[in-house]
Chains A and B, each alone.
Chain A
């Protein structure tokens, strides 16, 4: 249950910076949004902020009996020191003033926008060079995201490790999402329906914002604005490979009456397999909406699932084969662009051990010195 010293020191430093920033509200308006994000990183951040606030309060009692201001000032002036602020034998820890923390934050945000802007340009170039009928391929590498403005004014936003084939014709705008995940903001054009296909689903729209995630056997569709119509892909079931045919969830094994066409409105979602459509399946809408802002949101989800989600953004996957550990429930908001954010969070607890292996992969296991096993970490579980 104990938090590693180094991480704790880091979080303390950040908590102090935030706290002092809030003390100086008159000087500079604190970055409330940034603070909220920081606070929600983990329970340890919340704890540390409460501890720092409490220390600040408790210290009042200790300062009352201290010498008069003049005496303190002359003692301070008489004492020549360099950087050694704390005279107790103590590891001198560099403090990151809030300004630099913010700058770092702003910087990453800026880089992200620059990348986005660059990608918009490259997307535009793509389209002008390509012939009207020939398909255009848009791809992202693992860990990367990209946004493309299409010729009709629609936007295609690709998540990590995704590939989309775009074909325009006079009567249809067609995107085949070969793999991965995409967000579409579709420009209205009733004469040319906008269609997204995956291996298992067809999504047809007029003008809306929606999210499609293509997994080998399931497609998850979530509608953020407007309406879409979802159908099971007509070819689905024909090209089934051996592994899929062998699974009990295969189309032929399905007994319940199958839904093959459904209309989804804003806030609704569905999971499409070759066996049919199930509405209200798939990730919560808030996490669907979060990836374009580089945020991964987990609400009481098992660590195994969290790791799988994270691995979509990593070239070297995290390995986890301890079933007890995989069952841990996790709450938190992480940045997939910072692959270590999850590890930092997990590293807070000494019961989780991360081994870096020679091939660069990392394996999560229970730390041998953990006396109580993972069950003792139920404090990480949402109630």
Chain B
């Protein structure tokens, strides 16, 4: 009964996120991916569920489908973890007090993450950095970026690709 209610809640939350567009889903995934101890477990479970999706449905919007499935799984993981913690707490009405959710620690972690990301971006060459930030932060198009820096749109694409690869690989190392 309880489980059913939780599932319903999770579905509602996911619906809400989906209405907010892909970005909200990705934000949700990105935050959890660092805390989920094994991202591979998530990916595997998502893969198995994707295999079950009808091909035609999947092709309509594969990216959104993937995000939605991943978010669903993360909710399930979270519910399970909560259940586990509750179980643990019950057995330990004894001494094991659950550590209080600490806001300051969270802030420290956020700050550290930010510092790491800045360090990763600093590792890019000036051109690559410029292209990356102009595209990501300032929302300029390939064309606009190319015109400003004086390179072809093809090169813009190349820098962007290499920039994202670099960041992905180095963020993983920091994890």
Contact = CB atoms under 8 A, between A and B. Distances in A.
A299 interface: yes
B72 to A, nearest CB: 13
Contacts of A63: 121, 132-133, 136-137
B64 to A, nearest CB: 10
B81 interface: no
A256 interface: no
Given A53-B26, A85-B158, A46 B66 contact: yes
Interface in B14-69: 23, 26-27, 29-30, 33, 38-48, 50-51, 55, 58-63, 66-67
Interface in B94-144: 113-114, 117-118, 120-121, 123-134, 136-138, 140, 142
Contact of B171 (A44, A45, A58, A85): A58
A11 to B, nearest CB: 11
B124 A86 contact: yes
A88 B63 CA distance: 32
A43 B167 contact: no
B147 to A, nearest CB: 10
B87 interface: no
Interface string B146-175: 001110000001111111111111011000
Contacts of A125: none
**Main SS of the interface on chain A?**
helix
Nearest to A93: B165
* Chain B interface residue bracket vs A: 35 or more
B41 A379 contact: yes
Contacts of A62: 114, 117-118, 120-121
B10 interface: no
Interface string A229-265: 0000000000000000000000000000000000000
A49 interface: yes
Contacts of A79: 125-127
Contacts of B158: 85, 95, 97
A53 B123 contact: no
A46 B70 CA distance: 10
Given A53-B29, A55-B167, A383 B48 contact: yes
A32 B138 contact: no
B155 to A, nearest CB: 9
A62 B126 CA distance: 15
B48 A13 contact: no
Contacts of A383: 45, 48
Interface in A19-34: 19-20, 22, 24, 27, 32-33
Contacts of B70: 50
Nearest to A378: B44
A87 interface: yes
Given A35-B62, A51-B33, A379 B40 contact: yes
B118 A65 contact: yes
A87 B125 contact: yes
Nearest to B41: A379
B160 A20 contact: yes
A172 to B, nearest CB: 38
Q: Which of B59, B62, B138, B162 has the most CB of A within 10 A?
A: B62
Contacts of B62: 32, 35-36, 39
A198 interface: no
B66 A54 contact: no
B168 A55 contact: yes
Nearest to B165: A16
Interface in A57-102: 57-66, 69, 72-73, 75-79, 81, 84-88, 90, 93, 95, 97
Among all A-B residue pairs, the 7 with the closest Cβ atoms: A47-B43, A62-B117, A54-B30, A76-B130, A63-B137, A43-B47, A72-B130
Given A22-B63, A24-B142, A43-B46, 18 more contacts: A1-B40, A13-B165, A16-B165, A16-B168, A36-B62, A40-B47, A50-B39, A62-B118, A63-B132, A63-B136, A66-B118, A73-B148, A76-B126, A85-B128, A86-B124, A87-B124, A88-B123, A382-B51
Interface of B: 23, 26-27, 29-30, 33, 38-48, 50-51, 55, 58-63, 66-67, 70, 113-114, 117-118, 120-121, 123-134, 136-138, 140, 142, 148-150, 157-169, 171-172
Interface of A: 1, 9, 12-13, 15-17, 19-20, 22, 24, 27, 32-33, 35-36, 39-40, 42-47, 49-66, 69, 72-73, 75-79, 81, 84-88, 90, 93, 95, 97, 299, 331, 379-380, 382-383
7 contacts: A32-B62, A50-B46, A53-B29, A54-B29, A55-B164, A58-B113, A76-B129
